[in-house]
Amino acid sequence: MIAARRLSSRIAIALALAATALSAPAFGQNDAEVRIKKLEGEVRALQRKVFPGADGRYFEAEIAAPTTAPASVAPAVTTGPVNDLLSRVDAVEGALARITAQSEENANRMAKLEARLAALEPAAGAAGMMATSTDSPPAVARPLPIDNAVAANTAAMTGTAPAAQRLTAVSAIEKPVSSDKGEDEYLYGYRLWEAKYYPEAAAQLKATVDKYPRHKRISYARNLLGRAYLDDNKPGSAAQVFLQNYQADKTGDRAPDSLLYLAVAMTRLKQTDKACVALAEFADAYPAEAAGRLAGQYGAAQRAVKCN
């Protein structure tokens, strides 16, 4: 019995060694098989020595190798990380194949388009040459001739009709054309005044004031009309317009200008007391303009007259 126990212990040890050998890495499997075969031989020798009868109660009989090869078993499908990685690689390869096909199609389309453009270029060039030689030049903004009303008003104010040379010069000044007619008329008057055509500017601005009395530029137009009179050496007419513009709307955009130039007109008319009253009222009503935007004109007006 003791020998049987020892044999059982050695068998257990041998089986443990065999299991260890089977779980070893692949590169040590050959050595493990040699050792396992050696252990199996020693176990069979012990069996014959301890159990001469080769009792099958302890060991299974050796089985001969089968004459036919066992049927191959398909590997089990797994869903591990490697399988997932392979699936992703397949998807990337499929997308790459689709992109390659699309790129080839686009290249083919571009080649066809380039061929068509190359065929069209000669025809387009010929058509362009024909258009250049036969079509009229592109339209450009041209100055409008002086308004008949302006010419008539100028003749009425001066007593004589403008000379042909002056009309030609005035007609060279462009008249704006936009959706805001009142703005266009005012700007045209301003351009005439800026070009020093004072009678024409006055006629244009007077027509603008009469036609658009409620336009947003009315304060500008009346003040500039007074300036045109003043620059044309007509201080009496200028004083009337300046006073009207100031009294009509003392908060107007050019009301301060009109009050200051009223003092200038009164000075030219030798009415010193009225000029001084206008200057004093300007300083009281518009201190910001007197010290800022109109400081230069205010100082010149003060120097031109002696007030008590």
- Whether the predicted pLDDT of 177 surpasses 90: yes
pLDDT at 98: 73
Q: Return the CATH number of the domain spanning residue range 148-304.
A: 1.25.40.10
Cα first-last separation, the chain: 151
What percent of the chain stands above pLDDT 90?
A: 44
Report the alpha-carbon distance of residue 205 to residue 52 in Å, rounded.
143
Q: What mean pLDDT is predicted for residues 51-64? A: 51
Question: Could you read off the pLDDT of 132-141 as tens digits, one per residue?
Answer: 333 333 333 3
| Selection from 57, 32, 36, 37 nearest residue 47 by Cα | 57
Report the alpha-carbon distance of residue 200 to residue 146 in Å, rounded.
9
Q: What mean pLDDT is predicted for residues 272-291? A: 96
167 pLDDT tier (thresholds 50, 70, 90): confident
- Whether the predicted pLDDT of 155 surpasses 80: no
Are 171 and 216 in contact by the 8 Å Cβ rule? The answer is: no
Question: Could you read off the pLDDT of 67-108 as tens digits, one per residue?
Answer: 555 555 555 555 566 666 666 667 766 766 777 677 777 777
The alpha-helical segments, DSSP class H, found in the chain are 2-23, 29-50, 81-134, 148-158, 164-171, 181-194, 198-211, 218-231, 235-248, 255-268, 272-285, 287-291, 295-304
Q: What is the pTM of this model?
A: 0.50
| Selection from 159, 239, 166, 156 nearest residue 196 by Cα | 166
130 pLDDT tier (thresholds 50, 70, 90): very low
Q: What mean pLDDT is predicted for residues 287-302? A: 96
pLDDT at 228: 97
Report the alpha-carbon distance of residue 147 to residue 288 in Å, rounded.
39
Residue in the block written with tokens 């009223």: 262
205 pLDDT tier (thresholds 50, 70, 90): very high
pLDDT at 233: 96
Q: Return all residues near 191 (Cβ < 8 A) that are at least 6 apart.
A: 173, 174, 175
10 pLDDT tier (thresholds 50, 70, 90): low
Residue by residue, DSSP assigns 207-247 as HHHHH-TTSTTHHHHHHHHHHHHHHTT-HHHHHHHHHHHHH
165 pLDDT tier (thresholds 50, 70, 90): confident
- Whether the predicted pLDDT of 66 surpasses 60: no
Domain ranges of the chain: 2-50, 148-304
- Whether the predicted pLDDT of 246 surpasses 60: yes
> Mean pLDDT across the chain, nearest whole number?
74
pLDDT at 79: 56
- Whether the predicted pLDDT of 214 surpasses 90: yes
- What 8-state DSSP symbol labels residue 308? -
- Whether the predicted pLDDT of 7 surpasses 60: no
